[in-house]
Amino acid sequence: RKEVEQDPGPFNVPEGATVAFNCTYSNSASQSFFWYRQDCRKEPKLLMSVYSSGNEDGRFTAQLNRASQYISLLIRDSKLSDSATYLCVVNGDSNQKVTFGTGTKLQVIP
């Protein structure tokens, strides 16, 4: 089993739609979790951290389920500018283990 797994997509959704991505991780000792977005040929940029109680930033909501070992990202009212690849990142224990998922591609269609 991969340490961090994401559905590569692509997810093709119309403008205004709600879309959700999941990311599963294998190390139950993982400490912190993040979502990044990466535009084509650009560097990954931090989108949001993922907290145990769940957190929201505008149209974006992140959730953590430690029991089932997955994190999720929900995007409401999708915009064309949301088209990108979304990477989940899991920070392990004190051994400095940071694992990036391979990303889920989102294409928002007019």
Residues that bind another protein (CB under 8 A): 31-32, 34, 36, 41-46, 49, 87, 89, 91-92, 94, 96, 98, 100-103
Burial zone of 78 (CB within 10 Å; 0-12 exposed, 13-18 middle, 19+ buried): buried
Show the tokens assigned to 35.
Answer: 């979502």
Tell me the closest approach of the beta carbon of residue 8 to another protein, in angstroms: 9
CB closer to another protein out of 43 and 110: 43
Tell me the closest approach of the beta carbon of residue 31 to another protein, in angstroms: 6
Dihedral of the alpha carbons of 79, 71, 44, 100, in degrees to the nearest 10: -150
DSSP 81: G
Tell me the closest approach of the beta carbon of residue 15 to another protein, in angstroms: 25
Sign of dihedral through CA atoms 47, 51, 56, 62?
A: positive
CB closer to another protein out of 68 and 94: 94
CB closer to another protein out of 12 and 18: 12
